[in-house]
A and B are shown apart, each in its own frame.
Chain A
Amino acid sequence: MADNTEILSGLAEIVEEVAGIDTAEVSAEKSFVDDLDIDSLSMVEIAVQAEDKFGVKIPDDQLAELKTVGDAVDYIAKNQ
Chain B
Amino acid sequence: MSSEVEVVITGLGATTPLGGDVASTWEGMLSGRSGVRRVNDQFDWMDRYDLPVKIGAPVATEPTEVLPRVKSRRLDRVEQLALVAAQEAWADAGAPEVEPERLGVVVGTGIGGVTTLLAQDDLLETEGLRKISPLTVPMLMPNGPAAWVSLEFGARGGVHAPVSACATGAEALAWALMLMRNGELDVVIAGGAEACITQLTVAGFVQSRTLSQRNDDPERASRPFDTGRDGFVLGEGAGIMVLERAEFAAARGAALHGKLAGAGLTADSYHITGPEPEGIGQSRAIAKAVRDAGLEPADIGHVNCHATSTVAGDVGETRAVRKALGDHPILTAPKGSFGHLVGAAGAVESIITVLSLKEGIIPATVNLENLDPGVELDVVAGEPRKVDLQAAVCDSFGFGGHNAAITLTKA
Contact = CB atoms under 8 A, between A and B. Distances in A.
Contacts of A48: 130-131
B251 interface: no
Interface in B111-139: 130-131, 133-135, 138
Contact of B70 (A19, A41, A51): A19
Contact of A41 (B68, B130, B131, B135): B135
- What is the interface residue range for chain A against chain B? 10 to 19
A48 B134 CA distance: 10
A44 interface: yes
B271 interface: no
A29 interface: no
A42 B68 CA distance: 16
B140 to A, nearest CB: 14
Interface in A37-70: 40-42, 44-45, 48, 51
A63 to B, nearest CB: 12
Contacts of B68: 20
B69 A45 contact: no
A6 B408 CA distance: 61
Interface string B366-384: 0000000000000000000
B135 A20 contact: no
A40 B134 CA distance: 9
A40 B131 CA distance: 16
A19 B131 CA distance: 17
Interface in B40-95: 68-70, 73
A20 B133 contact: no
A29 B155 CA distance: 35
Contacts of B131: 48
A48 B128 CA distance: 12
A45 B130 CA distance: 9
A18 B68 CA distance: 12
Interface string B166-189: 000000000000000000000000
Given A40-B134, A41-B138, 6 more contacts: A19-B70, A42-B134, A44-B134, A48-B130, A48-B131, A51-B130
Interface of A: 18-20, 40-42, 44-45, 48, 51
18 contacts: A18-B70, A18-B73, A19-B70, A20-B68, A20-B69, A20-B70, A40-B134, A41-B134, A41-B135, A41-B138, A42-B134, A44-B134, A45-B133, A45-B134, A45-B135, A48-B130, A48-B131, A51-B130
